[in-house]
């Protein structure tokens, strides 16, 4: 990573932590904030994540672990609530660099893609539907809602990415660092237990 990319990554990381931005928008905002041309080579997501972790270590070490635990426990509530759809947690909450501004990102694997929507309707939950890029670049429906997290005392965004049941096979392929990109309820419970033991 060259000096310019490092500066972009550090600026984007601050925006991710302080404003709850996703990596893509944070990179673009960092370009603008630094007055760099639109064609400037951007840092990778891995480089942004590295800077996010560093920023948290320096500026948020006293609050972030508790916020992460609250988000993970809240994710467990939703995973239990939607257990019939084989929920898997991903994103910042799974990887461990989430703060109170981070959203919970769950992948649901359904026999019938509409069944998750029906389940939310049956629970009288209001949600918005949008289409976003999924695991393998294909467009997937994302059901987004707000859920009050008692431990944080505020609403948290919960995003449910809807996949076909066959998608579960490719959902746990390790990333470039050998990490699983998401985990089921048992994996999340193990993470929470490990953290509690430390």
21: left (phi over 0), alpha (psi -120 to 50) or beta: beta
* Strand order through the sheet with 154-164: 128-133, 139-149, 154-164, 104-110, 88-90, 182-183
Q: What is the pLDDT of residues 139-166, one digit of tens each?
A: 999 999 999 999 999 999 999 999 998 8
Q: How confident is the model at residue 183 (pLDDT cuts 50, 70, 90)?
A: very high
Q: What is the pLDDT of residues 87-98, one digit of tens each?
A: 999 999 999 999
Pick the CATH number of 64-197 from 3.30.460.10, 3.90.1150.10, 3.40.50.720, 3.40.630.10: 3.30.460.10
The residue extents of the domains of the chain are 3-59, 64-197
Q: Are 183 and 93 in contact (CB under 8 A)?
A: no
Q: Does residue 119 surpass a pLDDT of 80?
A: yes
Average pLDDT on 115-131 reads 95
Q: How confident is the model at residue 181 (pLDDT cuts 50, 70, 90)?
A: very high
Q: How far apart are CA 61 and CA 162, in angstroms?
A: 34
Averaged pLDDT score across all residues of the chain? 93
Q: What is the pLDDT of residues 16-74, one digit of tens each?
A: 999 999 999 999 999 999 999 989 999 999 999 999 999 999 999 999 999 999 999 99
* Residue 124 CA, distance from chain mean position: 25
Helix (H, G, I), strand (E, B) or coil at 175: coil
Q: Does residue 1 surpass a pLDDT of 80?
A: no
């Amino acid at each position: 990573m060259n000096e310019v990319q490092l500066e972009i990554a550090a600026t984007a990381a601050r925006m991710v932590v302080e404003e709850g931005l996703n990596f893509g928008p944070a990179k673009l905002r960092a370009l603008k904030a630094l007055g760099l041309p639109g064609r400037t080579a951007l840092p990778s997501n891995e480089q942004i994540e590295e800077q996010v972790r560093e920023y948290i270590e320096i500026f948020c070490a006293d609050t972030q672990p508790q916020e992460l635990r609250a988000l993970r426990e809240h994710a467990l509530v939703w995973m239990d609530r939607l257990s019939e759809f084989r929920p898997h947690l991903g994103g910042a909450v799974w990887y461990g660099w989430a703060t109170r501004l981070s959203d919970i990102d769950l992948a649901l694997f359904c026999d019938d893609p509409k069944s998750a929507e029906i389940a939310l309707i049956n629970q009288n939950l209001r949600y918005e539907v949008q289409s976003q890029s999924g695991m393998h670049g294909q467009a997937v429906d994302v059901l987004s809602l707000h859920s009050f997290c008692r431990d944080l005392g505020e609403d948290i965004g919960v995003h449910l990415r809807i996949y076909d049941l066959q998608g579960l096979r490719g959902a746990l392929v390790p990333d470039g660092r050998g990490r699983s990109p998401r985990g089921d309820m048992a994996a999340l419970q193990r993470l929470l237990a490990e953290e509690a033991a430390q």
